[in-house]
Amino acid sequence: MKDYKTTTISKKVGCGRVHCLFLEDDGVFYKLFIKGNHAKETACGESWFCAIAKLITYAMRRSIWEGNTKEGIIKQLLGQRCSMAIADPKEHIVSCSDAVAKCVLKYCKMRDLVKDKN
C-alpha cells in the first residue's frame, strides 16, 4: 500500500468535531477524507461524509487544475447553515459543511493553492 502524506485539519461544530484528512501523492493533492464523531450517531452520517468528500476531491482536483480553487467548491460550501450552529470566539461555524469548507480553505492556503485578491 502506498504511503501518502496526510494533513489533518479539525473544526468544532455544534454536534461534535469535523476532521478533514488531506492526502497528498508526491506533494500534490490526491484525496480528501472527512471524519466526525457525530457521524456515527445517524444512519446516513458516515455515508454523507464519504459522499461529500468524494465530491470535494473531484471539485478540488478540477479547480486546482483550472486555477480557480477559491471560486469553486469552497465558495459553494461556506455559510451553509444548520440548526446547531456554534458561536466560537475564534471562529464562527454555522454547519458541518461550513466547517469542511473552512478546512478546505485553510488547507488550500497552506499549500498556496488559493490567492487572496485583497
Q: Is the pLDDT of residue 42 over 80?
A: no
Q: Which candidate, 54, 76, 61, 52, places its Cα nearest to that of 108?
A: 61
* Grid cell 469552497 in the structure block, residue: 74
pLDDT of residue 118: 46
* Confidence label for 30 from pLDDT (cuts 50, 70 and 90): very high
Parallel, antiparallel, or unpaired for β 5-13 and 16-25? Answer: antiparallel
Backbone φ, ψ for residue 66 (5° rounding):
-85, -15
Q: How many residues does the chain have?
A: 118
Average pLDDT of the residues in 35-57: 80
Average pLDDT of the residues in 15-36: 91
Q: Which residue has the higher pLDDT, 51 or 44?
A: 51
Half-sphere exposure of 73 (CA within 13 A, CB side): 27
* Confidence label for 38 from pLDDT (cuts 50, 70 and 90): low
Average pLDDT of the residues in 91-99: 86
